[in-house]
Structure 1
Amino acid sequence: MKKSLLAIALLSSFSFTTLANQAGDILVRGGATMISPDSSKAGVALDGTMTPLSISVDDNTQLGLNVVYFFDSNWAVELLAATPFTHDVVLHDPQGVTEAVYGANLDGAILAEVTHLPPTLSALYYFDTGSAFKPYVGAGINYTVFFDEEFTATPASVGFKNLELDSSFGLSFQVGADYELNKNWSVNVSARYIDIGTEATFDLEDPHNVGLAGNGSASIDVDPMVYSIMLGYKF
């Protein structure tokens, strides 16, 4: 009986050792990442004067990638990357300004498409569970760069031109967990908040002589929640 108990204890100890994160471990993950921007709308100004128009940004899902380097069983650093995300920018016109001016109701129309990359560097803290389930919390800094900003065909035809969005620095906070399938493979889920804010600028020309033109702008608090489910491999 004593020998059996000793054997079980040794097996348990061996199992925990193989599952524990160790200094120098590198965990590479890949899977689906969805960016869900703040649902609030950003007001649109023309030559510094607010208009009844507003815009919002929709969700997008892409291939997410990240690499985690462990300093010990608790502390690690993570770099989040992804293939470029492309979002539709939706125009909101509850008072029908565009219909009155252009004869086309653009309320709810896709005004533009923007593409961005949101690399994020975070420090992670893993909680000791003594099991294959390894929850963690993290905090870090994000840099988001926007590119390929383009108005869609209908807004471009009525004079919307030269859309640009400023890059953004902000903080990031996350919770997540790895579930280790064996000493190398694991499944990961995470949710993080990223502070992303950008200033959008554009030109509104007057090709149809309707008397509406100027320099447009909108301060957009993207502030997305980012959800991921990934498969990981530890080296």
Structure 2
Amino acid sequence: MKKQIVTMAVLTALLTPMVHANEAGDWVIRAGATNVDPDSGSSGVYVEALGGDTPLSVSVDDNTQLGLNFAYFFSPNWAFELLAATPFEHDVIINDPSGIAPGIFGVPVDGATLASVKHLPPTLSVLYYFSTAGSFQPYVGLGLNYTTFFEESFKSGPSSLGFNDLELDDSWGYSAQVGLDFYFSESWLINASARYIDIETDATFNIGEIAGSADVGVDPMVYSIMLGYKF
């Protein structure tokens, strides 16, 4: 009988959610993998010397880096959050479904890696937690993003065809996210989140002496899995 009572007590303890009430003044620091997955659509390329809009377009691949996340609770249900990361690096792909490129450059370019670019997308958000106690704490958030692009450069192949002087403008936009903190001890947690970030940038470049441009809608989904600590 005593053995059964002990067994039931252990099972009850294991199955009972731990209480982790958030309080004003709490800080949560998280770190882990963050993947930036840009919109799979492509953006049209404009070249004035070729009559303006062309059948060419560009798209951007995804990239994963170390994500850092800081949250400060100013009430049990509300928190500020800052998303940071090591620089993301993306390849820019040129698309030529019409086959126009051989007539311009002398070689096919459809699907070729045109350039690479790095960016940092710090995002400040306000989070609302639906629950301030228990092991599982889901939340939603809205925020403001600033993305700065740097180290834009064409690959050697496109450079040999005359592509040069690539620049991408910085971007301001909104973000929206859903997330979940799962506490497995009094202070340690696993975090998972998915957010949409509105990132629009104007890309300018030259083909020889000919000016070209593209309005690039990056608009990525950003996925994170992180380990966190609350103090």
| CA–CA separation in structure 2 for the residues paired with 1:107 and 1:86 | 21
| CA–CA separation in structure 2 for the residues paired with 1:234 and 1:131 | 14
The letter of the residue matching 1:159 is G
Q: Which of 122-131 and 79-88 deviates more?
A: 122-131
Q: Is the 8 A contact 1:19 1:182 kept in 2?
A: no
Corresponding residue of 1:3: none
Q: CA deviation at 1:129?
A: 6.4
Q: Is the 8 A contact 2:195 2:221 kept in 1?
A: yes
Corresponding residue of 2:89: 86
Corresponding residue of 2:24: 23
Aligned partner (choices 177, 197, 206) of residue 203 of structure 1: 206
Report matched runs for 1:24-173 at 5 Å.
24-47=25-48, 49-128=52-131, 130-173=133-176
Q: CA deviation at 1:73?
A: 1.5
Any stretches of 5+ residues in structure 2 without a counterpart?
Answer: 1-8
Q: Is the 8 A contact 1:16 1:130 kept in 2?
A: no
Q: Which of 97-106 and 221-230 deviates more?
A: 97-106
The letter of the residue matching 1:172 is S
Within the alignment, does 1:214 sit opposite 2:215 as a pair? Answer: no
Within the alignment, does 1:232 sit opposite 2:216 as a pair? Answer: no
Report the secondary structure of 1:21's partner residue: coil
Q: CA deviation at 1:98?
A: 2.1
| CA–CA separation in structure 2 for the residues paired with 1:72 and 1:132 | 18
Q: Is the 8 A contact 1:56 1:91 kept in 2?
A: yes
Using the size of structure 1 for normalisation, the TM-score is 0.88
Report the secondary structure of 2:101's partner residue: helix
| CA–CA separation in structure 2 for the residues paired with 1:54 and 1:110 | 12
Q: CA deviation at 1:214?
A: 1.4
- Kindly tell me: are residues 17 and 108 of structure 1, through their superposed partners in 2, closer, same or farther at Cα, counting changes over 3 Å? closer
Q: CA deviation at 1:101?
A: 2.8
Q: CA deviation at 1:16?
A: 8.0
**% identical equivalent positions:** 59
Cα shift readout 1:185-223 (whole Å, capped 9, x = no counterpart): 000000000000000000110xxxxxxx51100001111
Within the alignment, does 1:181 sit opposite 2:172 as a pair? Answer: no
| CA–CA separation in structure 2 for the residues paired with 1:29 and 1:130 | 19
Using the size of structure 2 for normalisation, the TM-score is 0.89
| CA–CA separation in structure 1 for the residues paired with 2:109 and 2:83 | 36
